[in-house]
Amino acid sequence: EVQLVQSGAEVKKPGESLKISCKGSGYSFTSYWIGWVRQMPGKGLEWMGIIYPGDSDTRYSPSFQGQVTISADKSISTAYLQWSSLKASDTAMYYCAKGATAYYFDYWGQGTLVTVSS
């Protein structure tokens, strides 16, 4: 059974760093893209970027390029989304999802709620 299990909710202050995780199981982690999607409170889905764990090929949405870092550790089948300096506007639910192909998701994680507040 394919599963994506994300790390727990985080409460951070502006300016702090953060790294959230997404552990894949039940499939060949290195053979499929993994992506990250932001959903701000009461808003729609926004594609942030994707990574191919097999060779670490990474694509970012222009809206998120330079704002976050997507990485993966294939030895533990885990993908990461990282911020170096959080802002209040980063408050959102973040989903990881497995790419069935390079252009759509077939399985989603449960989401990680990130709250940034002073």
Q: Which is nearer to other proteins, 3 or 85 (CB)?
A: 3
How far, in Å, CA of 6 to CA of 34, rounded?
Answer: 12
Contact flag: residue 32 with other proteins (CB under 8 A): no
Look-up: residue for tokens 């502006």?
14
Contact flag: residue 27 with other proteins (CB under 8 A): no
Q: Interface with other proteins by CB under 8 A: which range of 15-23, 37-45, 75-83, 84-92?
A: 37-45
* Cβ neighbours of residue 42 closer than 8 Å, sequence gap 6 or more: none
Look-up: residue for tokens 């990485």?
71
* Contact map string, positions 48 to 77, toward other proteins, x by CB under 8 A: --x--------x-xx---------------
How far, in Å, CA of 10 to CA of 30, rounded?
Answer: 27
Contact flag: residue 35 with other proteins (CB under 8 A): yes
Neighbours of 89 (CB within 10 A): 9
* Contact map string, positions 95 to 114, toward other proteins, x by CB under 8 A: x-x--x-xxxxx-xxxx---
Positive or negative, the CA dihedral 25, 111, 17, 11 is negative
| Contact set with other proteins (CB under 8 A) | 35, 37, 44-47, 50, 59, 61-62, 95, 97, 100, 102-106, 108-111
